[in-house]
Amino acid sequence: QLQLQESGPGLVKPSETLALTCTVSGGSISSSGYYWGWVRQSPGKGLEWIGSIYYSGTTYYNPSLKSRVTISVDASKNQFSLRLTSVTAADTAVYFCARRDSAIVTWGQGTLVTVSS
């Protein structure tokens, strides 16, 4: 059974870089046909797609975040990562990693990242 687990700092200072990793177990990140990505949810708000990376390495980003976001894959570790630069309080959210087949079938449990000095 495929499982995803987010990890990374729970507190990031304003203007710094948020960096999260998603570890994939129960399946290979190199399997064809899947998109690996990130979705966030600000406290009390709805879901916002951040971006996705295809198994081939092609990336897709939310235009509203594109200038600050990088998603990458480390196949040797069966992990993928999110980097979000120049964070502000508005980036405080629960960050979910996810695998998309057509719709998003598999989600991590989510990790809260707070941006505060």
Partner 1 sequence: EIVMTQSPATLSVSPGERVTLSCRASQSVSVSLGWYQQKPGQAPRLLIYGASTRATGVPARFSGSGSGTYFTLTITSLQSEDFAVYYCQQYHNWPLTFGGGTKVEI
**CB distance 20 to 113 below 8 Å:** yes
Given the complex with partner 1, which of 15 and 60 has the nearer CB atom?
60
Beta-bridged to residue 41, according to DSSP, are 47, 94
Query: Does 105 engage in binding with partner 1 (CB under 8 A)?
Result: yes
Choosing from 52, 79, 81, 92, the residue that interacts with partner 1 (CB under 8 A) is 52
Given the complex with partner 1, which of 80 and 96 has the nearer CB atom?
96
**What letter would DSSP give residue 71?**
E
Choosing from 11, 60, 75, 86, the residue that interacts with partner 1 (CB under 8 A) is 60
φ, ψ (nearest 5 deg) of residue 114: -105, 130
